[in-house]
Amino acid sequence: MKYINLSILALLLLAIQACTIDDQADPNGPSINSVLNNASRAELNLLVAGTESAMRVGWDGYVTATGSIARELYLFDADPRNTEDLLGKEGTALDANTFYLTGPYNTRYRVVKNCNLLLGALDNTSSVSEAEKDGYRAFANTIKGLMMFQVLNMLNDNGIRVDVADPKNLGPFVTKAEAFTAIRGILDEGYAQLNGADFAFSLSEGFAGFDSPTTFGEFNRALAAKVALYAGDNAAALTHLNNSFFDLNGDLKTGPKHVFSTSSGDILNPVYKAPGQSGDQIIVHNDYIADAEAGDARLQKFGLRLNPTSQDGLNGTHETRLYGSNVSPIDIIRNEELILIYAEASARTDKVNDALTALNRIRLEHNLNPLQGTPTSAALLDDVLFQRRYSFWSEGQYMFDLRRFGRLNDTFLPIDRPGDIIHTQFPIPLTEGQ
């Protein structure tokens, strides 16, 4: 299935900053009134397609902003804020009203708004069966939980808005702990709704193998495991893995993906950069080359430039080769991450042998020697972080991993220029009026 033409999303995904959506008509898509008053199956399916498509928008900003803070990468382009603000040049604070925050923030909440619109439509339609309604609801709640989780990762202790169903009466910002509780509840609700549900909609080819109530439930539980781990609930993370697509001996690449194409109206992979280009390039932080273990196959993600490049007092010899083309898919979550969640949760609960087995599965896959003996839980956690560092380079994870491990600081990370500082979270956007 092709992604819905992004122009159709003008109705559903307006570029608004306070989680509102206007009541307009669109000749190619459903109007708000028609969706909320006995929506047809076609209109509901359009909402699903639009929601999945919109998840991809803004992902490049999420990756490069968080990756810069974590000293994974530099984005060398025409905007100086990528090397000034994000790297804390001369103590520069993050701006609460600029693209590297508002872009990812607004696009995540636009998807949440779309999910809420779908949920509202289901309460007022007779065009689909109750089992089919539960299928739509499960999809909406799963994606809604994922989007809120991504926003919470950015804002951290600043908290997030969870209650945004009524755009004219937005709920307050809640604490980080309250947000985790709410997000986990949303994912659990989505999972429960899959019991006895039918899918009356199709997803893109990126969800091949995860496009039935049963297999989509495995995706939901994979997300639940990740959220539980980030919330510090290691036991729940391990439990959720049992109901996910976690496979210690399976293909590391298995999992749902965002897909792209050159078709009219679709978008290209926004994180892809053509090899050798200058002026708009993702540059690998030099420490990634220096710190790598000999023979690590993941070094293939980094391409040696013909000539080193520099900008704003920063330099690098390698550039991204993470994606092979401008239509390469982007993983949403994959089995490799589930194995590392298993390793981390096991190490944190003193299941040393389980953690060791999982880590060696990852190490051997990437051409590294296995860990020997019986390492301590602390040593295993060090290796978990190291493996995550290289497995998920430029995938919007390492900043949050460092923070969870208490290492998002200048003791652990390099200061590339005198006066640079390490940011630990993004501010609440200025438009939120907090």
Per-residue pLDDT of the chain (434 residues; tens, 9 = 90+): 445 444 344 344 433 333 333 343 344 445 677 788 899 999 999 999 999 999 999 999 999 999 999 999 999 999 999 999 999 999 999 999 999 999 999 999 999 999 999 999 999 999 999 999 999 999 999 999 999 999 999 999 999 999 999 989 999 999 999 999 999 999 999 999 999 999 999 999 999 999 999 999 999 999 999 999 999 999 999 999 999 999 999 999 999 999 999 999 999 999 999 999 999 999 999 999 999 999 999 999 999 999 999 999 999 999 999 999 999 999 999 999 999 999 999 999 999 999 999 999 999 999 999 999 999 999 999 999 999 999 999 999 999 999 999 999 999 999 999 999 999 999 999 999 87
Q: What is the per-residue pLDDT for 34?
A: 73
Whether residue 174 sits in one domain with residue 25: yes
Same domain as 402, residue 313:
no
CATH number (domain holding residue 197): 1.25.40.390
Which residue segment(s) compose the domain that 303 sits in?
281-320
First to last CA, the chain: 41
Position 421 in a domain: no
Residues 348 and 403 placed together within one structural domain of the fold: yes
In this prediction, residue 286 carries a pLDDT of 99
Task: Examine the domain organization and report whether 312 and 382 are in the same domain.
Answer: no
Same domain, 312 and 180: no
Does 238 map to a domain? Answer: yes
Residues 61 and 89 in one domain: yes
If asked whether residues 300 and 246 sit together in one domain, one would say: no
pLDDT of residue 80: 98
Residue 419 maps to a domain: no
Specify the pairing of strand 314-320 against strand 302-311.
Answer: antiparallel
Does 427 reside within a domain? Answer: no
104/188 same-domain check: yes
Same domain (yes/no): 150, 192: yes
Q: Does residue 424 sit within a domain?
A: no
* Number of domains forming the structure of the chain: 2
Say yes or no: 244 and 344 in one domain.
yes
Spatial separation of the C-alpha atoms in residues 125 and 43, rounded to whole Å: 11
Q: Decide if 273 is inside a domain.
A: no
DSSP assignment string, 176-210: HHHHHHHHHHHHHHHHHHTTT----S---GGGTTS
287 with 243, same domain: the answer is: no
pLDDT at 202: 98
pLDDT given at position 291: 98
Count CB atoms within 10 A of the CB of residue 171. Answer: 12
Distance CA 63, CA 35 (A): 33
Per-residue confidence (pLDDT) for residue 31, from 0 to 100:
64
Residue 124 lies in a domain: yes
What integer pLDDT is reported at residue 3 of this predicted model?
A: 52
Q: Tell me whether residue 381 is in a domain.
A: yes
The SS3 of residue 64 is: helix
Residues 162 and 309 in one domain: no
> Taking the CB of residue 79, how many other CB atoms lie within 10 A of it?
14
pLDDT value of position 30: 55
Residues 6+ apart with CB under 8 A from 93: 85, 423, 427
State pTM to two decimals.
0.94
Cβ atoms of 288 and 302 within 8 Å: the answer is yes
Torsion angle (degrees, nearest 10) of CA 16, 395, 180, 229:
170
